[in-house]
Amino acid sequence: MPITVTMPQLSPTMEVGTLARWLVSEGDTVTSGDVLAEIETDKATMEVEAIDDGTVGRILVAEGTENVPVNQAIALILEEGEEALEEEPGSIEAVPLPSGPASGEADSEPEKAVVQDGPGKPASSGRKRAASPLARSMALKAGLSLDDVTGSGPGGRIIKRDIEKALKAGVPATSPAIASAWEEIRVTGMRRVIAERLQEAKQTIPHFYLSLDCDIDRLLEARREINAAGYRVSVNDFIIRALALALRDVPDANVQWGGDVIRRFAHVDLSVAVAVDGGLVTPVIRDAASRSLLDIATAMRDLADRARSGKLMPEEYQGGSFTLSNLGMYGIREFDAVINPPQAGILAVGAGYPRPVARDGALAVATLMSTTLSADHRVVDGATGAALLNAFRNFIESPTSLLL
């Protein structure tokens, strides 16, 4: 019997994945441990390894296929002595598939696999347009997004005639005259999650913003001394530690809106935004308030490295209680960040710039770092937010407290 390679479940919540890339071709000999394919989920890219020796008999899901359900067969590996599969559609049928298109069609009609989006789960999409299966099938064939179609069926359901109408009206960019005016880039799982989450945030969370400047001269001095002693600590690590301690001291800001209840977290699990190719990821420093500066520095370096290479495990970027977004390294002076749902707050941190300050009635120069808190007003009020920001500034401006 050929060995069936299935879409792995990379996290407990993963339901579908994108088959980003095949690293083997049909007919290739593989040994246990060889990387067969790369699977892309919301935020991570993972490798699928061969678990046995054999020959790649058939690739069932084409490269680039999105929304492949967990456990769906993606390839067949032939053990030694097994015949090639080309003339054996029967054995392909035997591969258990969850539902939807036959595996035999998968390689000849790769786009069919995406039909899974229809009757099955809405994949990573938070909102699903109501549409008849036929309308979905037709839209898929035509490369038409259901978002561009107005539904005229019961309750606004998109039905066949709506697709026909949209196609007649020329909604898809199939016209050669204008096709060259832009390039269409496939939306990755990460991009879709970012789009959906942040749109949801701006539409459903009543944001309000508080700004405060922090004097970081003493912090920069402390950092110089620490790094001179052979350690590697970034300004960002100080900020993580300061924000974690501030949240510990103002627990009413370390919360989440739950509709009927307010969830107040026992620990500060700080999500830290990291820019990566094609988007951003927010690895989480767990229980950051009880971790030392050096511990945070080491953990953060590791998480950021692996985030950039797409190797984070889902549990490493899910479930934070508050987010830090620092664009200081890009020279940004100040900005407002969008809350990362279901969290209730995000701190936007800009770069430190030397600025004139009035000190004891005289003009002086200090390195000021502007910070802006975006908070969910459903659960955090202005005074709570101000308390958090002030606590944060106190820690930043007395850096020795961050070393304790």
Per annotation, catalytic residue among 157, 197, 377, 378 = 377
Binding piece for another protein, criterion CB under 8 A, among 133-141, 224-232, 322-330, 370-378:
133-141
Q: CA Rg, the chain, in Å?
A: 26
Q: CB-wise, 99 or 175, nearer to another protein?
A: 99
Q: How far apart are CA 12 and CA 314, in angstroms?
A: 9
Binding piece for another protein, criterion CB under 8 A, among 11-19, 92-100, 174-182, 282-290:
92-100
Binding piece for another protein, criterion CB under 8 A, among 27-35, 98-106, 226-234, 299-307:
98-106
135 contributes a contact to another protein by CB under 8 A: yes
Burial class (CB in 10 A: 0-12, 13-18, 19+), 230: exposed
Phi, psi of 287 (to 5 degrees): 45, 50
Q: How far apart are CA 37 and CA 168, in angstroms?
A: 40
- SS in 3 state form for 132-157? CHHHHHHHHHHCCCHHHCCCCCHHHC
Q: CB-wise, 159 or 402, nearer to another protein?
A: 159
Q: CB-wise, 142 or 275, nearer to another protein?
A: 142
Q: In this structure, what token pair is assigned to residue 94?
A: 């035997």
Binding piece for another protein, criterion CB under 8 A, among 63-71, 126-134, 301-309, 345-353:
126-134
Q: CB-wise, 132 or 390, nearer to another protein?
A: 132
Residue 312 near residue 272 (C-beta atoms within 8 A):
no
159 contributes a contact to another protein by CB under 8 A: yes
- Report the residue from 83, 93, 148, 302 that binds another protein according to the rule CB under 8 A: 93
Under rule CB under 8 A, how many of the chain's residues touch another protein?
19
Whether 207 is a known active-site residue: answer no
- Report the residue from 119, 126, 170, 356 that binds another protein according to the rule CB under 8 A: 119
Least CB distance to another protein at residue 88 (A): 14
160 contributes a contact to another protein by CB under 8 A: yes
Residue 383 near residue 360 (C-beta atoms within 8 A):
no
100 contributes a contact to another protein by CB under 8 A: yes
How many CB atoms neighbour CB 223 within 10 A? 19
| Distances 183 to 186, 188, 237, 372 between C-alpha atoms, Å | 10, 15, 39, 36
Reply yes or no: is the peptide bond before residue 206 cis, omega within 30 of 0: no
Least CB distance to another protein at residue 64 (A): 21
128 contributes a contact to another protein by CB under 8 A: no
Least CB distance to another protein at residue 172 (A): 15
- Report the residue from 121, 128, 141, 311 that binds another protein according to the rule CB under 8 A: 141
Phi, psi of 31 (to 5 degrees): -120, 160
Q: Which residue, among 30, 20, 19, 113, has the nearest Cα to 76 in the 3D structure?
A: 30
Residues that bind another protein (CB under 8 A): 89, 93, 99-102, 115, 118-119, 132-135, 137-138, 141, 154, 159-160
Q: Which residues are catalytic?
A: 377
